[in-house]
Amino acid sequence: MTEPTDIQPVDENKLIAERREKLKALRGQGVAFPNDFKMDAFTGDLQAEFADVEKWTAEAIEALGRQVKVAGRIMLKRDQGKVAFVQMQDVNGRIQLFIHQGTVGEDTYKAFKGWDMGDIVGAEGTLMRTRTGELSVKVEKLRLLTKSLRPLPDKHHGMADVEQRYRQRYVDLIVTEDARRTFAQRSRIIGFIRKWLEAEPRRFMEVETPMMHVIPGGAAARPFVTHHNALDMDLYLRIAPELYLKRLVVGGFDRVYEINRNFRNEGVSTRHNPEFTMLELYQAYVTYTEIMDITEGLIRETAQNVIGSTKLMWDGVEIDVGPSFRRWSMEDSVLELNPEIRREELRDRDAMAAHAKRLGCQVKADFGWGRLLLEIFEKTVEHTLIQPTFITDHPVEVSPLARENDTNPGITDRFELFINAKEIANGFSELNDPEDQAARFMAQVEAKEHGDDEAMHFDADYIRALEVGLPPTGGLGVGIDRLVMLLTGSSSIRDVLLFPYMRPEA
C-alpha cells in the first residue's frame, strides 16, 4: 500500500505561465528589463574582506558605514511580515539582503513580495552583520533587473539528472557550486600554464594557427569535413596544429605554443569529446628528454600553484605529482607484465602476432611487430599506470612524426604520459629528415588506401618546409581537458567542458 503524502508534483508549465503573467504586468509598468543599474561590489570579495568576525563585529561594520551596490540572482527568500531575508548570488559568492518595508518603501516591498526565486535583482545599501553573525546588506534601494520565467530546480535536490546538467549548463552553474568551482579552476589552470610557459627561462611565444586545413595532419585521427562555397573545395577541421607549429620553428620562432581547439570525428566517452582543447609546444635544440622535464614541471607547478598541493584525488585514487615521474620504455613494460614474452620475440612479427591473439588483442594482416607491441601494451600495461609514468621509446610504425633513435632501429624518441591509466600527454624528438618524413607519409597513404580512416595524408608543403630546414626540435601535446580532470578530480570529460557534445533533444 502506498503511503499518503502531502507533497504534490510541481506543474512547471503552470509556474511558467504565472511568471509570464507577472512579466506582462511589468511590461505595462514601463521598462521590464532595465539595464542602468551599476554594481560596485562582488559578494565573494565582501565576504572575504569581512571574514574576521572578531575584528569586524556588528558594531565595527556599523561604524564603518560602508555603502555597496550589489547585483545577482535570488536563491533563497524568507518573508517575515514587514521584514524579508534574501540569499543573493553573483559570480563569486552569496550575500544576504536584509529588506525592511520601512526602509525600501511600501510600494517596493509589495512588489518584491511577488518576485520569484531565480529573478535577478540590484540592491543598494549599507553593510551590516545580523544577530546570527551573517554579513548582510541592509537594503535601501531594490530593483528587479531580470524576470526569470523558468523556475530553478528544487534547492534540496539540485539537478539530479546528469544529462540535464550537461544540456542546461546555464542552470547547472546557477545551482551547483562544485560546477562553478571546477570551471573557475579550469580558467585559472589555463591562465597559469600560459604564464609558466612564457616566463624565464622558458620564454615560449603563444601563436595561432589555422583551424580549417586543406590537408588534415599532425595526428592519426578521422577528421570532420566541411565545404568552402566560394572556393568550391572541401576543408578539414583541425585534428592537430602540429605541422603548422613546426613550420614556424622552420621560420625561426624557436619556442612556440598554442592552446587550441581540435576536432576529431571519433566516439564519445568519459575521456573523449569530438572537440577538445590541447596545448602543443615546440622547442628547438632539445630532445624528448628535455620535453619530458618540461611536461613534468608544468604539471607539478600547476598543481602546486592553482590547486595548492601536488597530492590529488582522482576517481578515489590518490595521485602524487610531486615526486619525479617514472620513465619506462614500452618494451620493458610489456616484458615485465607479460613474462611469457621473451625479449628476442619483441621484433619477431609472427611471435608477437601469436602473443597478441592469445591475449585477445586486435591483429590485422598489415600490423607489423611495432603495432602489435602497442596493442599488447594497451591490453596489458596501460590500465596499471596509476602514478605518473612516461612510457618511452615507441615503435616507428605507430609514430609517423617522431625521430627514429640513432642506436635502436625501429624505435623512436617518443613518450606518452599516463596518470591513473589515462593518457595525459604525448611528445617526442621531432623527425626533421625530409626524405624519411616523405617515406613515412607514403606509408600512411598506403595504410589509408587499405582502409585505415585515421592514417595521415601526404603533405607536400610540410615536406618542402622540412627541406628548408627544421632544427633539432622537441614537441609536446597535452590534453588540457584531461589535465583539468586530474587537477579537479573529475571523473568525466563532460564535467570539465562547459558545453560537451550531446545528441539533439527529442
Domain spans of the chain, in order of start: 12-152, 174-325+387-495
Task: Give the confidence band of 2 by pLDDT, cuts at 50, 70, 90.
Answer: very low
| C-alpha grid cell, residue 89 | 548570488
pLDDT in tens, 181-195: 999 999 999 999 999
CA 349 to chain centre: 40
Q: What is the mean pLDDT of residues 17-41?
A: 96
pLDDT of the residue at 156: 61
* Sheet with strand 212-213: strands edge to edge: 212-213, 233-237, 225-228
Which has more pLDDT, 3 or 244?
A: 244
How many Å apart are CA 438 and CA 443, to the nearest integer?
9
| C-alpha grid cell, residue 61 | 561594520
pLDDT of the residue at 157: 65
Q: What is the mean pLDDT of residues 466-494?
A: 97
pLDDT in tens, 385-416: 999 999 999 999 999 889 999 999 999 999 99
Task: Give the confidence band of 5 by pLDDT, cuts at 50, 70, 90.
Answer: very low
Q: What is the mean pLDDT of residues 163-192?
A: 95
In this structure, CATH architecture of domain 174-325+387-495: 2-Layer Sandwich (3.30)
Is a pLDDT exceeding 90 seen at residue 266?
no
Is a pLDDT exceeding 90 seen at residue 175?
yes
Residue 203: name the closest of 253, 167, 277 by CA.
Answer: 253
Is a pLDDT exceeding 50 seen at residue 1?
no
Q: Does domain 12-152 have CATH number 3.65.10.10?
A: no
Share of the chain above pLDDT 70, in %: 97
Is a pLDDT exceeding 80 seen at residue 453?
no
How many Å apart are CA 192 and CA 189, to the nearest integer?
5
Q: What is the mean pLDDT of residues 17-30?
A: 95
Q: What is the mean pLDDT of residues 94-121?
A: 97
How many Å apart are CA 273 and CA 260, to the nearest integer?
14
The residue assigned the cell 534547492 is 155
Q: What is the mean pLDDT of residues 273-301?
A: 97
Share of the chain above pLDDT 90, in %: 86
pLDDT of the residue at 475: 98
pLDDT of the residue at 309: 98
Q: What is the mean pLDDT of residues 152-159?
A: 75
pLDDT of the residue at 506: 74
Same fold, 12-152 and 174-325+387-495: no
Q: What is the mean pLDDT of residues 262-272?
A: 88
pLDDT in tens, 497-506: 999 998 888 7
Q: What is the mean pLDDT of residues 423-427?
A: 97
pLDDT of the residue at 443: 87
How many Å apart are CA 192 and CA 305, to the nearest integer?
8
End-to-end CA distance of the chain: 35
Do 221 and 265 meet the contact criterion of CB atoms below 8 Å apart? yes
Residue type, 211: M
Binding-site residue ranges: 416, 423
pLDDT of the residue at 7: 44
pLDDT of the residue at 454: 73
Q: What is the mean pLDDT of residues 218-222?
A: 84
> Which own/partner pairs from 13-20 qualify as long-range (CB within 8 Å, at least 24 positions apart)?
15/151, 16/149, 16/150, 16/151, 19/116, 19/147, 19/148, 19/149, 19/150, 19/151, 20/149
Could you tell me where the DSSP H helices lie in 30-98?
43-49, 58-64
Residue type, 384: T
Is a pLDDT exceeding 50 seen at residue 25?
yes
CA 316 to chain centre: 20
pLDDT of the residue at 447: 82
Average pLDDT over the chain reads: 94
| Distant-in-sequence, close-in-space partners of 321: CB < 8 Å, separation ≥ 6 | 299, 300, 303, 310, 312, 388, 419
* pTM, entire model: 0.91
In this structure, how many other beta carbons lie within 10 angstroms of the beta carbon of residue 121?
A: 22
Binding-site residue ranges for Mg(2+): 416, 423
Q: What is the mean pLDDT of residues 80-109?
A: 96
Is a pLDDT exceeding 60 seen at residue 52?
yes
> Which own/partner pairs from 301-309 qualify as long-range (CB within 8 Å, at least 24 positions apart)?
301/192, 301/196, 302/189, 302/192, 302/193, 302/196, 302/483, 302/487, 303/487, 305/192, 306/185, 306/188, 306/189, 306/192, 306/487, 307/185, 307/487, 307/488
How many Å apart are CA 211 and CA 48, to the nearest integer?
42
Which backbone phi and psi does 330 adopt, to 5 degrees? -60, -40
